[in-house]
Chain A
Amino acid sequence: MGQMTYREALNQALREELLRDETVMLMGEDIGLFDGSFKVTQGLYKEFGERRVRDTPISEDTIVGAAVGAALAGLRPVVEIMTINFSLLATDQVVNHAAKIRYMFGGHATVPMVVRMPGGGGHQLGAQHSQSLEVWYATIPGLIVVAPATPADAKGMLKASIRDDNPVIFIENEGLYNTKGEVPEGEYLTPLGRADVKRAGSDVSIVAHSRMVLLALEAAGVLAKEGIEAEVVDLRSLRPLDVETIRASVEKTSHAVVVEEGWGSYGITAETAATIYETAFDFLDAPLVRIAGVEVPMPYNHNMEQACIPTVEQIVAGAKKTLRKAAA
């Protein structure tokens, strides 16, 4: 075990997979000579050279399309899209091509590829650079969509994603890159499609993914001081969704708060809420509480932006609300 940042954990996963499997190669804008705009690929270009670590022009749609083609030919490309906002230029290749090929061609083709990209806001980058759009991809059959919250999961899930034979959309978060945690050394794989209970508790389930898991854990700490034991369920995988872990948690606690950084309407929380109502309605003691980003394009001004993003306080208040305890 070693302490490392989320960024370092990703870097280690990429490096290990590049070493392990000749068919793994990286592509993306400024991931090579520049070491990546968030430095996730730091040192890899130097170590592996431009055959394995390729700088690309600003051509998102074609980069992803080329990855789909390379995957069809047996490579395992890992594409970095600088941020999820720019992936909108590549949605055609992701949705109409990567996600469809296996089924549409009768199961005769595979597309083993990964598209990595960070989402999230909070850095005053404005409306076009601060979105959490993972749900767009999570609605598409044929894609695996994961969003790890901790360095350990970042490493284990990236390695698992690269080895998976399906197209995987791997969602990072700009606010997570510098966060630290224990990461097992060497061969360490986290299965895709499984949620993880990051904190056990008996009173209320807080269901979240990506950076919101850290807020949920902080909220659980605050609640614990008031005698409320929250269970934090980290979805980790958005598609497939681990229905059983969510259900089991709510069966235990009878209360639920669902959280996401992005917009809630038709969102991840809409899906988790529906899942809870479908599978655990009989166990619920109260309506669940949904917490999500305010539904406006992200404003630049600091106070305005902060007002848009879910907070620890909101999660605490949400837990108390569903527990019918008045907020202090």
Chain B
Amino acid sequence: MAIDTQARDKALASHSQDELRGLHHLMLLNRRFEEKVGEMYTRAKVGGFLHLNIGEEATFVGAIKALQPGDYLFSTYREHGHAISHGVDPRRVMAELFGRVDGTSRGRGGSMHLFDGEKRFMGGYAIVAGSIALAVGTALASVYRETNEVTMSFFGDGATNNGTFHESLNLAKVWKLPLVFLCVNNQYGMGSAVERVSAVTEMYRKAAAYDIPAERVDGMDVIAVLDASRAAAARAREEKTPYFIEAVTYRYRGHSMADPGTYRSKEEVEEWRRRDAIEGFRHRLLEAGMATEQDFEADEADVARVVLEAVDFADASPEPDPAVELRKDVYVGDVPVSWR
């Protein structure tokens, strides 16, 4: 993607200093939070599958910052930062990863299943493409109730090869739903590079089959993602129509902690790290005189505090007691049968 620096400068200048500083803080918080989670996994505080989103911060922070309170967000198993960016308390996220009762899902969900209904973070799901259909449903409810809400659905490049993805796009268009499809194209689904499994390698072009307006943005540029997402959300909200954004980004770490990463070269990973979203954004802020090195240091100190508080909170939260917790909530209310 050729970068037009003049246009980029202009885009930056159209945002308030507060907003820019906020974007930096949030990206940094997610980066440090995720690094800490990785560490906690190696110390066996976190179990199961762990999918880190380090490298993708500009994509999800930019996209989610385009949403308003009351807007629905659906996500995948790579969702810690998606939840936090949508207002979910980092302490409760960490507690969930630790499997504790103060976690967002009372320790029953874990890394792949965060949830916060109050914030309308509608969940992380571990079945690829499954949650895209759910997003059609909340968008339907918004139209049905004649509210002004928008739904945003996060999914990966790999998910676009699944039938549910295509059926969801079609239905959202047929029913004219206020839904922003947000494809996080990190260029791999597990070990499969996009071009090995997808007939069309630019994901946004798939939306054309359903006559959904779509664009591709640099997912390492938080402003580009934010501006595109804001415009898309505004259109979805006003015109009651789906919109599609593809953000091209990269995950620095393996698919999960178990991934040796043999399917891509070290050079490729290094090349993308050189385009790091946070580093790049800092340069732009400095150049534009919107922030100083001291500001960044202050942010570092602040996010370090938030992350530590999250760990302390999670550590202090009790483990769920199977005798009390195990059979609760399988159904709503007391089910008058004995099941095994």
Contact between chains at B107 and A299 (CB < 8 Å): yes
8 A Cβ contacts from A58-81 to B: 58-62
Please state if B191 and A34 are interface contacts (CB–CB under 8 Å). Answer: yes
8 nearest interchain CB pairs? A34-B191, A300-B110, A57-B161, A124-B48, A301-B99, A124-B47, A307-B322, A57-B197
Q: Is there an interface contact between A126 and B320, defined as CB atoms closer than 8 Å?
A: no
In the complex, whether B189 has a CB less than 8 A from a CB of chain A is yes
Q: Give the complex CA separation of A56 and B198 in angstroms.
A: 9
Contacts of B47 in A (CB 8 A): 123-124, 300, 302
Residues of B90-138 at the interface with A, using a CB-CB cut-off of 8 Å, are 99-100, 105, 107-113, 125-129
Q: How far is the CB of A66 from chain B (nearest CB, A)?
A: 13
| Given contact pairs A34-B191, A34-B263, a sample of 16 additional A-B residue pairs in the complex whose CB atoms are under 8 Å apart | A57-B158, A58-B128, A58-B129, A60-B162, A89-B127, A124-B48, A126-B48, A126-B126, A127-B108, A128-B126, A129-B49, A129-B112, A300-B107, A300-B109, A301-B319, A304-B99
Q: Which residues of A lie under 8 Å from residue B107 when comparing CB positions?
A: 299-301, 304
Docked complex: A90-124 residues within 8 A CB-CB of B: 123-124
A125–B320 CB distance below 8 A: no
Per the CB 8 Å criterion, the residue count for chain A at the interface is: 40
| Complex CA–CA separation, A58 to B191 (angstroms) | 12
Q: A299-B108, A301-B99 are in contact. Are A33 and B127 (CB under 8 A)?
A: no
Using an 8 Å CB-CB cutoff, how does the interface string of B175-198 with A read, 1 for contact, 0 for none? 000000000000001111000111
B326 interface hit (Cβ, 8 Å): yes
- If over half of B's interface residues share one DSSP class (helix, strand or loop), that class is named, otherwise mixed; here it is loop
Nearest chain A CB to B219 CB, angstrom units: 20
Q: When A and B form their complex, what is the total count of cross-chain residue pairs whose Cβ atoms lie within 8 Å?
A: 130
> What 1/0 flags go to A12-52 for Cβ under 8 Å of B?
00000000000000000110011101000000000000000
Q: Determine whether the beta carbon of B326 is less than 8 Å from that of A37.
A: no
Contacts of A85 in B (CB 8 A): 127
Q: Known contacts A33-B196, A294-B326; is A123 also within 8 Å of B48 by CB? A: yes
CB contacts (< 8 Å) of B125 on chain A: these are 128
> Is A304 within 8 A of B322, CB to CB?
yes
CA distance A56 to B340 in the complex (A): 39
Q: Which of chain A's residues has its CB closest to B113's CB?
A: A126
Chain A contact residues: over half helix, strand or loop, or mixed?
A: loop
Residues of B within 8 A of A153 (CB): none
**Complex Cα–Cα for A60 and B162 (A):** 8
Task: Encode contact with A along B185-219: 1 for CB under 8 Å, 0 otherwise.
Answer: 00001111000111000000000000000000000
Q: Of A56, A86, A123, A297, which is within 8 A of B197 by CB?
A: A56
> From residue B278, how far is it (CB to closest CB) to chain A in Å?
29
Contacts of A128 in B (CB 8 A): 112-113, 125-127
Chosen A-B contacts, 7 in total, with CB atoms closer than 8 Å, are A29-B192, A30-B190, A126-B109, A127-B113, A128-B112, A301-B110, A304-B325
| Measured CA separation A127–B109 after assembly (Å) | 7
CB-contacts of B139-195 with A (<8 A): 158-159, 161-164, 189-192
Q: Name the distance in Å between A30's Cβ and chain B's nearest Cβ.
A: 5
- Among the interface residues B126, B197, B340, which one has the most CB atoms of the partner chain A within 10 A? B340
Which residues of the other chain, A, contact B197 by a CB distance below 8 angstroms?
A: 55-58
Q: List A contacts of B127 (CB < 8 A).
A: 85-86, 89, 128
